[in-house]
Amino acid sequence: MIIVTGGAGFIGSNLINALIEKKQEVFLCDYPELVKKNYFNKYDQIKRIIPPDNLFEFISVNDVKLIYHLGAISATTHKYPNKQWIENVLFSTKLWKICSKNNIRLIYASSAATYGNGDLGFEDNEDINFLKNLKAMNVYGWTKNEVDIRNIFLKKTFGFCPSQWVALKFFNVYGINEFHKKNMISIVLKTFLQIKENKETFLFKSYKKKYLDGEQERDFVYVKDCINALVWFLDNKKISGVFNIGTGKANTFNDLVNAVYKSLNKNINVRYIEMPEKLKSQYQYHTQANLSKLRKLGYAKKFYSLEEGVNDYINILKTHDIFS
């Protein structure tokens, strides 16, 4: 029995599709009103939808083997930080403790947002002092780092941890099943929709001399690669730790947008706009995953290049009636 929290969401729904393909018994934990049936290839094979408020009671009376904890308030501009603290930190810490007591494997989503401006690098380091020195640039990233610190403290100080525990620091993920994210959808999808509506593509101007407009860099990772990694840890239950999930290569936003236009055989139409003041202090100009730790432990799958991932995603968008 596997539970996926945040199962109605972007990565969660893609993961459930993959797990069902592997003939796993999957339970979706999320708010029922958020579930979009068209996100799932075999919706009727989901065993049950568990509201988050009922999760801990469900765990107490069922033989759960593994929990993928992907649920969180992920909006970087969320207006209620106290709610973000409760949902992201307190809920996650309670889940760690219950999994530890009940011998349940736990694989959960951390984030590259924990690295802040990148001054300390992008090393998936499990040292408590290193984690405490990270300075996230928004509340979301800070809550994710707090979860990592608390969990690793419990493990290293008291030996209190699940039989398998994995924290995955996802970088900038794009791909199918992100329509519900509204203003938080990926630049790939935003650009695709702008092209469909014959509109300009908007990118933020740069406010650092080192970067020209549109030349800000991110490690853009295709959701299919994230799912491959999540499933790999299912099959490798003896491996625990904190791991980066990105391509290992930084690409510019210009590169990303150009790849979308190329996939659609369209001429580039980009305008650089002012960044909202509230975002300027939270903006990451460069991210790039170090994958050496993951590779050393045997993860050999090739990641999609930016062009490959964008082209695959655009082909899905063009050929499926998935706008909802």
DSSP state of 86: I
Is 140 one of the catalytic residues? yes
The one catalytic residue in 39, 108, 140, 222 is 140
Q: What does the block give as tokens for 99?
A: 């999994």
Contacts of 242 by beta carbon, 8 Å cutoff, 6+ apart: 110, 124, 125, 126, 148, 152, 166, 167, 169
- Phi/psi for 295 (5° steps) reads -65, -40
Q: Shortest CA distance to 126 belongs to which of 101, 94, 148?
A: 148
Is 222 one of the catalytic residues? no
Give the span between the Cα atoms of 153 and 200, in whole angstroms: 48
Q: What residue type is assigned to position 219 of the chain?
A: D
The one catalytic residue in 65, 97, 155, 181 is 181
Name 242's bridge partners: 167
Exposed/middle/buried for residue 270 (C-beta within 10 Å: 0-12, 13-18, 19+): middle
Distance, first Cα to last Cα, the chain: 30
Q: Shortest CA distance to 191 belongs to which of 274, 112, 262?
A: 262
CA 264 to chain CA centroid, Å, is 26
The residues that are catalytic are: 140, 181
